[in-house]
């Protein structure tokens, strides 16, 4: 829209300016005889729908112009509401343990993710550190026990191998003697029986060794399980300490001056989970806090939501992802977005349904709680049409008119009847009377109408060239 506007004129200036408006003379004289009643009969007078706008009249009347465009016209539902920060972008920080506050950030401070908001001296931190020390001690003992069990199991494996080899040798000797005695009778039964006894003893020793080896293996399994459980307890203790202290695992395990950091920290740090602004502080330095007591509220207004209410009767007209234009106060440019959809539950008292739309706010310039009005598209034309702002239309009885700027004479406007169609979103479809890229009067149109200039006298009409003709001509 191309427009210009001066300061609002006084009543006297407006009257003077209106009196200055004059009809343009026209070169065409079609000789249609005397005009009917109401038409001036003065010699040299030409009836025209063209109005000259002297520069003084434009300034004093505050006349502005708007462009005729092409686009889709739709029906829009107006929804009053407000802007707010969704729950996913607000954080209420609480004390993870009881203790005394040694430092706390000021209200309205902007913070980054991970920045320290407050520090607390707490005995629970000492208890957590001591618990980690004890867990590490138990883990070391369990690890040593598992190592000793593994060593015994290894020694048992060696012994079992020796016993199995002895059993195999005794069986071979017994079997060889038995065969030899059967074939040659060179050995007596005594030698065979002795060999058999050795084999039997070796077999029993092998069975005992197998049982012992199984017990040693089970013992190793139990000791290794205990060692793993002890290590798991260490991991849990470190994670609990990290959560309590406000440090990361990497920070806690870092070594400084020969010691792990977790052994040397003295305070609990409360850190910002995301970038935002401290909009409220609930504690002061030196104050003693209980566990879970609120400390501060952080809002990230980089993403806002529009929240409004509609009558339940309008619910069938809404579609998810419908285009939305959010109008804001104070001259802030409107924001185009889409509808997130209505809430599935209506308010039982008001019989209204809440609707929402997401608004990007990267510069965090829009504050929470700002009033706004959303225009939600509920119906749209199939194709692009000639559109003009509704504010440019003037009703003159039953006739709708605009004051179209002469494309060849910037200081001349033409009183033009128009046929209108669908309207919505501040625009109306023009079926006849205007073309795309025409320019029409916006502010000041009513003053032009009141002059009576450019209006066809009773009983006649204007042609496209601006000449007036009797009704039947």
Give the other-Cβ count within 10 Å of 344's Cβ: 7
pLDDT in tens, 205-226: 889 888 988 898 899 999 999 9
Return the higher-pLDDT residue of 434 and 4: 434
Fold agreement between 77-88+300-380 and 124-252: no
Q: What integer pLDDT is reported at residue 7 of this predicted model?
A: 40
Distance of CA 438 to the CA centre of its chain: 40
User: Closest Cα partner for 427 from 461, 394, 374, 387?
Assistant: 387
Q: Which CATH code fits 91-119+269-299?
A: 2.40.50.100
Domain residue extents for the chain: 11-73+384-470, 77-88+300-380, 91-119+269-299, 124-252
Class of residue 16 by CB neighbours under 10 A (exposed 0-12, middle 13-18, buried 19+): middle
- Hey, what's the torsion of the CAs at 178, 181, 186, 190, to 10 degrees? 60
Three-class SS state of 415 = strand
Report the alpha-carbon distance of residue 252 to residue 260 in Å, rounded: 7
Q: Where are the strands (E) in 36-194, listed by range?
A: 50-52, 65-67, 69-71, 74-84, 90-94, 99-104, 110-111, 116-121
Place of tokens 């509920």: 378
Contact 447, 395 (CB under 8 A): no
Calculate ∠ Cα 170-172-177, nearest 5°. 95
Task: Report the b/e string of 215-241 with b at 16+ CB within 10 A.
Answer: ebeebbeebbebbeebbebbeebbeeb
Three-class SS state of 371 = strand
Contact 359, 335 (CB under 8 A): yes
Which H or E run includes 134? helix 123-184
Out of 1.10.645.10, 3.30.200.20, 2.40.420.20, 3.40.630.30, the CATH code matching 11-73+384-470 is 2.40.420.20
| Top-level class of domain 77-88+300-380 | mainly beta
Q: Is the pTM of this model over 0.75?
A: no
Q: What integer pLDDT is reported at residue 23 of this predicted model?
A: 40
Q: Which CATH code fits 124-252?
A: 1.10.287
pLDDT in tens, 280-318: 999 999 999 999 999 999 999 888 999 999 998 888 888
């Amino acid at each position: 829209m191309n427009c210009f506007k001066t300061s609002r004129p006084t009543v006297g200036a407006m009257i003077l300016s209106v009196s200055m408006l004059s009809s343009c003379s026209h070169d065409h004289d079609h000789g249609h005889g005397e005009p009917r009643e109401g038409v001036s009969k003065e010699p040299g007078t030409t009836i025209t729908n063209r109005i000259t706008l002297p520069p003084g009249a434009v300034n004093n009347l505050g006349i502005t112009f708007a462009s005729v465009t092409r686009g889709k016209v739709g029906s829009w539902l107006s929804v009053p509401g407000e802007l707010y920060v969704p729950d996913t972008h607000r954080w209420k920080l609480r004390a993870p343990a009881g203790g005394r506050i040694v430092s706390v950030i000021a209200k309205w401070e902007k913070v980054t993710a991970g920045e320290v908001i407050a520090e607390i001296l707490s005995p629970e931190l000492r208890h957590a550190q001591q618990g980690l020390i004890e867990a590490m001690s138990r883990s070391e003992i369990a690890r040593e026990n598992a190592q000793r069990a593994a060593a015994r199991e290894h020694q048992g494996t060696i012994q079992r191998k020796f016993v199995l080899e002895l059993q195999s040798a005794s069986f071979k000797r017994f079997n060889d003697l038995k065969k030899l005695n059967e074939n040659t009778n060179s050995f007596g039964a005594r030698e065979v029986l002795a060999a058999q006894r050795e084999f039997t003893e070796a077999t029993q020793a092998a069975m005992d060794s197998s049982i012992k080896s199984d017990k040693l293996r089970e013992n190793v399994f139990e000791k290794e399980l205990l060692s793993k459980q002890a290590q798991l307890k260490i991991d849990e203790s470190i994670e609990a300490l990290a959560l309590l202290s406000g440090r990361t695992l990497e920070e806690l395990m870092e070594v400084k001056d020969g010691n792990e950091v977790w052994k040397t920290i003295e305070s609990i740090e409360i850190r910002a989970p995301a970038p935002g602004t401290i909009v409220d502080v609930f504690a002061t330095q030196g104050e003693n806090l209980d566990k879970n007591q609120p400390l501060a509220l952080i809002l990230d207004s980089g993403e806002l939501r529009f929240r409004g209410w509609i009558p339940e009767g309008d619910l069938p007209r809404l579609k998810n992802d419908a285009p939305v234009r959010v109008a804001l106060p104070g001259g802030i440019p409107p924001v185009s977005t889409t509808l997130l959809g209505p809430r599935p539950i209506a308010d039982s008292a008001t019989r209204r349904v809440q609707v929402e739309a997401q608004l990007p706010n990267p510069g965090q310039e829009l504050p929470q709680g700002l009033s706004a009005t959303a225009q939600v598209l509920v119906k749209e034309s199939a194709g692009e049409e000639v559109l003009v702002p509704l504010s440019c239309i003037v009703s003159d009885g039953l006739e709708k008119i605009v004051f179209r700027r002469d494309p060849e004479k910037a200081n001349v406007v033409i009183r033009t009847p128009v046929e209108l169609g669908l309207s919505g979103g501040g625009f109306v479809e023009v079926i006849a009377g205007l073309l795309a890229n025409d320019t029409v009067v916006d502010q000041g149109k009513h003053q032009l109408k009141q002059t009576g200039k450019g209006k066809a006298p009773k009983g006649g009409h204007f042609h496209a060239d601006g000449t007036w003709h009797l009704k039947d001509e």
